[in-house]
């Protein structure tokens, strides 16, 4: 059904490779901007968090985060961080709806891209989550791959710079889009947490899996909150 493309999933450690990732993401965004569809895709925008998973309404997530079941009590502090950010995020949704929207891939990460023998991105895979969403959400999802609380801040900045430089060849973000990037990186982590919580409630994923994503979401949110002023200044200089 599909043409086979040679390649392998990259580690995204090499800056030239990350630049190529940004360039490919920008090219994809430019092409998807020209695509029009008669009906909106099944998946809702990231900021419509009530639609992330059919089993996870915002009220259910809030209850789970504030009064975690016995098996999750050990993650009380992490869930409190998530809850506070969920509440804070809802106030920003009206502003987000005013930003540029278009079709986006929605899940640009190392498992959905391939590199060829020259190390450059040779393919973008898995268009399951394509939807009509914020244009800049694609950037936030991709950048979230580089944010690790165990990584040196200077290295993270270099990786983000390489991606944005490649992306900027095709797409120029507005000032408003740049300003909300830290918020949207947090949103990506919240969305992944909700997705795997729903899968856990469906009996698809294990408790260890959802615990992993709770910890990851809390760490990433805390990291962004600590560094967001630096990030905004960095983005503005790009």
What tens digit of pLDDT does each residue of 158-171 get?
999 999 999 999 99
| Alpha-carbon gap, residue 155 to 227, rounded angstroms | 14
pLDDT band at 223 (very low <50, low <70, confident <90, very high): confident
Dihedral sign for Cα atoms in the order 140, 141, 143, 148: positive
pLDDT band at 79 (very low <50, low <70, confident <90, very high): very high
More confident residue, 39 or 141: 141
Tell me the domain boundaries of the chain.
15-236
- The mean pLDDT value for 85-95 works out to 90
Whether the pLDDT of residue 235 is over 80: the answer is no
pLDDT on residue 131: 92
- What is the share, in percent, of the chain residues with pLDDT greater than 90? 69
Name the CATH superfamily for 15-236: Aminoglycoside phosphotransferase (APH), C-terminal lobe (3.90.1200.10)
Query: 134 with 47: CB under 8 angstroms?
Result: yes
Mean pLDDT of the chain: 90
Taking the model in full, what pTM does it have? 0.88
- The mean pLDDT value for 51-58 works out to 86
pLDDT on residue 39: 83
More confident residue, 52 or 212: 212
pLDDT on residue 1: 63
What tens digit of pLDDT does each residue of 105-136 get?
999 999 999 998 888 999 999 998 899 999 99
| Alpha-carbon gap, residue 158 to 80, rounded angstroms | 31
Whether the pLDDT of residue 204 is over 70: the answer is yes
pLDDT on residue 43: 85
Structure tokens at 216: 């990851």
Give 8's DSSP letter: B
Q: What's the gap between Cα 43 and its chain centre? A: 15
- What is the share, in percent, of the chain residues with pLDDT greater than 70? 95
Give whole-number Cα distances, 75 to 184, 196, 211, in Å: 23, 15, 8
Whether the pLDDT of residue 238 is over 70: the answer is no
Whether the pLDDT of residue 237 is over 90: the answer is no
């Amino acid at each position: 059904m599909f043409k086979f493309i040679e390649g392998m999933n990259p580690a995204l450690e090499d800056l030239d490779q990350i630049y190529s990732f940004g360039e490919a993401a920008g090219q994809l965004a430019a092409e998807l901007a020209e695509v029009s569809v008669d009906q909106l895709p099944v998946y809702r925008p990231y900021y419509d968090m009530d639609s992330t998973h059919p089993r996870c309404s915002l009220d259910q997530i809030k209850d789970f985060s504030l009064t975690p079941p016995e098996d999750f009590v050990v993650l009380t502090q992490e869930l409190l961080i998530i809850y506070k950010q969920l509440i804070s995020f809802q106030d920003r949704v009206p502003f987000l709806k005013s930003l540029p929207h278009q079709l986006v891939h929605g899940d640009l990460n190392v498992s959905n891209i391939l590199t060829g023998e020259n190390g450059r991105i040779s393919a973008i895979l898995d268009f399951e989550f394509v939807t009509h969403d914020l244009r800049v959400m694609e950037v936030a999802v991709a950048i979230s791959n580089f944010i690790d609380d165990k990584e040196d801040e200077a290295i993270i900045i270099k990786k983000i710079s390489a991606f944005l430089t490649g992306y900027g060849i095709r797409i120029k973000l507005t000032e408003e889009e740049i300003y909300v990037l830290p918020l949207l990186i947090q949103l990506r982590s919240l969305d992944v947490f909700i997705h795997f919580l729903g899968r856990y409630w469906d009996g698809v994923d294990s408790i260890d899996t959802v615990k992993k994503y709770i910890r990851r979401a809390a760490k990433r949110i805390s990291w962004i909150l600590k560094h967001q002023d630096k990030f905004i200044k960095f983005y503005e200089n790009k």
